[in-house]
Chain A
Amino acid sequence: MSAVTVNAKINGDPVEFVCEPDETLLDVLRNRLGMTGAKEGCSTGDCGACSVTIDGRLTCSCLVLGAEVEGLNIGTIEGMANGEKLHPLQKKFLEHAALQCGVCTPGFLVAAKSLLDHNPKPTETEVRFALAGNLCRCTGYDKIVRAVMDAAAEMRRA
């Protein structure tokens, strides 16, 4: 295998990394860059725990090769809060107890932010379908949906 050198941006910051051509972006984030906020729940794109955005587009980082992101901007959970200030979604997830074990939480937050970026006033049904690619086994989704709806309302007021 011939390793590939990649220049990209993560949460706006420039990064350079070397990876094997068969390594996924998730592997790169976790094992090469020490960014373990994205989680590997399945490695087949079925659980959403590794959700990131690439140039603003939501995707599973387990379904992307590290080599593919040359010149692209990756958004991860680590870039969601603005300094000390939590994103409204992060705040509402805490207030609504929308997490139990918390391993799916980064993926849900990234996916929910992507939804609200495109649709600031989603219905409950829209939230549920937008988040169908994120599996949560603890909560039954109830509090997650409430937190997202509440965050959306707060962001509209702001």
Chain B
Amino acid sequence: MANVLIWSSLRSHTGGKANLQIEARTVRELLDRLAETYPGLKPQIQRGVSVSIDGVIFRDGWLETLKPESEVVLLPRMVGG
């Protein structure tokens, strides 16, 4: 079970929870599970998210594999200048 941290303003869609335990092997699975479990998160996920897995930022890495103890932080999709 990956430990997923979501940013504060998304918590209204998760019943106030900041930490979510999600069973997923890849980032893509994780995002799918999140959208299924918490439909309120779907628009943001569709708009685009990046993730940090154990401190390393992945802008698009949907196929990145997750370890059971991975800490995944959801981030708005990264942009740069």
A and B, direct touch (CB closer than 8 Å): no
Chain A interface (Cβ within 8 Å of chain B)? none
